[in-house]
Amino acid sequence: MERTIEIGKKYRHFKGNLYKVIDIVNDSESNNDEEFKKVVIYQALYGDNLKWARPYDLFNSLVDREKYPDVEQEYRFEEVDE
């Protein structure tokens, strides 16, 4: 079963920082006459609270175990309880 990223939820990046998903939008450059690719808009819950955009599939991807073998999280971003 594929995980679903939800607007308004908080997620922890595998490096430890917290973010809130603000929106999930269509990428205007990806239209292939079938479907737009999705992009996650999210905001840091630390520092200057910067906003970021990342392709949905990358936001929802597994941690690269070859590059980060000691990380405990399974996914790049994992939902946290409020």
20 domain residue, yes or no: yes
Residue numbers of the domain that contains 36: 10-79
40 domain residue, yes or no: yes
CB 19 within 8 A of CB 13: yes
27 domain residue, yes or no: yes
2 domain residue, yes or no: no
1 domain residue, yes or no: no
Condensed to tens digits (0 to 9), the pLDDT of residues 7-47 reads: 999 999 999 999 999 999 998 887 766 678 899 999 999 99
The count of structural domains within the chain is 1
72 domain residue, yes or no: yes
25 domain residue, yes or no: yes
65 domain residue, yes or no: yes
Q: What is the pLDDT of residue 1?
A: 54
Instruction: Report the pLDDT averaged over residues 54-64.
Output: 95
